[in-house]
Chain A
């Protein structure tokens, strides 16, 4: 079974609108971390946001927020006020285990295209 599932291979959003990229995860470990990375067409991987399983509040970083629904095992990325520069691949990733345990497991990604 996949540990990280991103069900949207591709999405379109109008510039200045908000968009939600879905991510569900599968783990029985009570301690885990969830990450979102952006990969523009240039290829580099850019860290966006992190949510720990014990964090009480949803993480936010500027225009990025993470809609963390623990019971549903979902960690959707919300991008507000989309910009043309947001067009990229977006990867959700999970780290299982607390402290020094666990490596990152990545989903297959969602390609976001922002229309002017």
Chain B
């Protein structure tokens, strides 16, 4: 019953560093998403994917990149980290786009 697994749970980056947030799901879902949640705010969509090899931008894609080489994995890459990217990041998946999302447990990222 793994569902959606995100790693790491916590990370501190220095300005200008890069890192990859990992996300994998074992439910054979076609759709995968990356959201960020800033303090006191709702979730905002960064990128999403409708299947292996297909990704698209969400509401706040700047400063991020994604890839989807397999159905299971959807990593999020931060290049040249900035303090504005301090946030909690959630990966999610769904079988169909219109259905409920299954979320990972989140990654708390601080850029100092």
Contact = CB atoms under 8 A, between A and B. Distances in A.
Contacts of B108: 43
Contact of A91 (B40, B42, B98, B105): B42
Query: Chain B interface: which size bin?
Result: 20 to 34
A35 B100 contact: yes
A75 to B, nearest CB: 15
Interface string B52-96: 000000100000000000000000000000000000101010001
Contact of B98 (A45, A46, A102): A102
B45 interface: yes
A12 interface: no
Nearest to A31: B98
Interface in A89-116: 91, 93, 95, 98-109
Nearest to A50: B100
Interface of B: 33, 35, 40-45, 48, 50, 58, 88, 90, 92, 96-98, 100-103, 105-106, 108
